[in-house]
């Protein structure tokens, strides 16, 4: 009887996992991460207001033509046009177009995006867009238009954004 009891090995006993060191680590890491947690990620869009400058007319090759695209946000739709010292009038007229608001009363930003992508393919050197909203257009719509004009499907379109009020 005594011999049988002695055969019980110590390895058969249950061992408890010591969680104290892990808890120590957590108690240090949690306050550290809490101080550096950011629940709102603030980013920025660089833009500018128009300034007067001297523009010199330069004779450029077709592949080097730079257009400045103008996006006018109107109450009922989006009007596009372009400016350039290097392109002829016919080429600039081809850029002129109008996208009316859809039945849902949303601005057709997807159509604008497709059009700007095509324009960028034709004039790859172009990098500037001027956005001219009407007075009643809300800021959120302006930012969404900027997003569409700057990038599309991770492809850079017109990263230089200028915002201006209507003249006249």
Partner 1 sequence: MALGRSRMRSRGFIPPKLQMTSMMDMFTILLIFLIISFSEHIVRFRIEGDIRLPSSSAQMDFKERTRLVVLENSLWLGEEKVTEIKDGAVVGLDPNNLKGSILYQRLKKCRREVEQSTDEGKDKNLILFLCDKRLSFKTINNIIKTAGMAGFPNFQFGVLKQ
Work out how close the CB of 90 gets to partner 1 at its nearest, in angstroms, rounded to a whole number. Answer: 32
Between 122 and 164, name the residue whose CB sits nearer to partner 1.
164
Work out how close the CB of 132 gets to partner 1 at its nearest, in angstroms, rounded to a whole number. Answer: 9
| Phi and psi at residue 34, to the nearest 5° | -65, -35
Cα atoms in the 13 Å half-sphere on the side-chain side of 87: 22
Work out how close the CB of 36 gets to partner 1 at its nearest, in angstroms, rounded to a whole number. Answer: 6
Q: How many CB atoms lie within 10 A of CB 94?
A: 12
Q: With residue 73 as reference, give the H or E element that holds it.
A: strand 68-73
Q: With residue 89 as reference, give the H or E element that holds it.
A: helix 89-95
Work out how close the CB of 155 gets to partner 1 at its nearest, in angstroms, rounded to a whole number. Answer: 12
State the residue for tokens 């007319």. 57
Residues 20-49 that bind partner 1 (CB under 8 A): 22-23, 26, 29-30, 33-34, 36-49
Selection from 152, 132, 3 nearest residue 80 by Cα: 132
Which tokens belong to 55? 């523009």
Tell me if 137 contacts partner 1 by CB under 8 A.
yes
Between 41 and 55, name the residue whose CB sits nearer to partner 1.
41
Number of residues that bind partner 1 (CB under 8 A): 42
Q: What are the residues binding partner 1 (CB under 8 A)?
A: 16, 19, 22-23, 26, 29-30, 33-34, 36-49, 51, 73, 133-140, 142-144, 146-147, 150-151, 163, 165
């Amino acid at each position: 009887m005594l011999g049988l009891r002695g055969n019980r090995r110590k390895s058969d006993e249950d061992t408890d996992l010591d969680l104290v060191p892990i808890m120590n680590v957590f108690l240090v890491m949690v306050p550290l991460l809490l101080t550096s947690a950011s629940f709102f990620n603030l980013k920025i869009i660089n833009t500018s207001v128009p300034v007067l400058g001297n523009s010199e007319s330069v004779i450029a090759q077709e592949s080097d033509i730079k257009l400045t695209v103008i996006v006018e946000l109107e109450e009922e739709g989006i009007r596009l046009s372009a400016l350039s010292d290097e392109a002829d009038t016919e080429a600039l007229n081809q850029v002129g177009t109008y996208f009316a608001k859809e039945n849902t009363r949303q601005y057709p930003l997807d159509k604008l995006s497709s059009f700007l992508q095509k324009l960028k393919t034709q004039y790859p050197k172009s990098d500037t867009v001027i956005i001219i909203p009407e007075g009643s257009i809300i800021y959120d719509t302006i930012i969404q238009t900027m997003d569409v004009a700057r990038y599309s499907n991770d492809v850079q379109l017109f990263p230089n954004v200028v915002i201006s009020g209507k003249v006249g």
